[in-house]
Amino acid sequence: MVAPSDSVDDAVASGFALVWFSLGLLLGFTAIYGIGVGLSFATCTMIAAVEAQNDDLAAAQGTMAQARVFGGAPGLAVCTIVFNIKLQNSLGPDSKSNLGHQELDQIHRNLITGLALSDDFRQDVIRIYLGAFGDQSLVILAVAVVALLMSLGTYKSVPSHVVDVMVQHKELAGRPSGRGDVELSSVSSVRSLVR
């Protein structure tokens, strides 16, 4: 839509207002997403501490830490695979593209090298990247829906009081267990097996 010459000021102001509004929405939704991720990660860590028995607290916390790392690795792998499939289908040897095998290999290794390509190929790489980002967002959305459904299974009829449980864990951590010698001797016996 082209604005008439007598309303160019209105068109410019309207255009910048739309840019401001859409960026505000984008930043607002990004902030909401960040708050959601922060709440869910912190809560998952707290669930391990609240639900674990006193003797299993360290193991539960360690398991949660490993689960976060392990969960990120397949997620990154899936997102990388989605991008590489789109790139291969659009610019690979079976496509109509004239991009050489060496350039395609460089893009697979480092996406920034796509910026050094000619304008046509650079625009193709950007288009492919944006398309892959959209597909990756759908995969993340599906994972979030599954996680939401799974999180509904954490509801209890009588919820644990987080503060009380954490105070109890802290009190138990301060007491001598009387088993310290046993734990240290079992650790040293494991070390002797490892050497």
pLDDT digits (tens, 9 = 90+) for 119-131: 888 888 888 888 8
99 located within any domain: yes
Q: Is the separation of the CB atoms in 87 and 106 below 8 Å?
A: no
89 located within any domain: yes
120 located within any domain: yes
131 located within any domain: yes
pLDDT grade, residue 190 (50/70/90)? Answer: very low
- Rounded Cα distance between 138 and 157, Å, is 34
Overall residue count recorded for the chain in this entry: 195
128 burial level (CB within 10 Å; 0-12, 13-18, 19+): buried
31 burial level (CB within 10 Å; 0-12, 13-18, 19+): exposed
pLDDT grade, residue 179 (50/70/90)? Answer: low
147 located within any domain: yes
Query: pLDDT, tens digit, for every residue of 132-152?
Result: 888 888 888 888 888 889 888
Domain that holds residue 30: 16-166
Provide the CB-side half-sphere exposure for 45 (13 A, CA).
10
Question: How many domains does the chain divide into?
Answer: 1
Query: pLDDT, tens digit, for every residue of 67-111?
Result: 888 888 888 888 888 888 888 888 877 777 777 788 888 887 887
pLDDT exceeds cutoff 70 at 20 = yes
194 located within any domain: no
91 located within any domain: yes
pLDDT exceeds cutoff 70 at 1 = no
104 located within any domain: yes
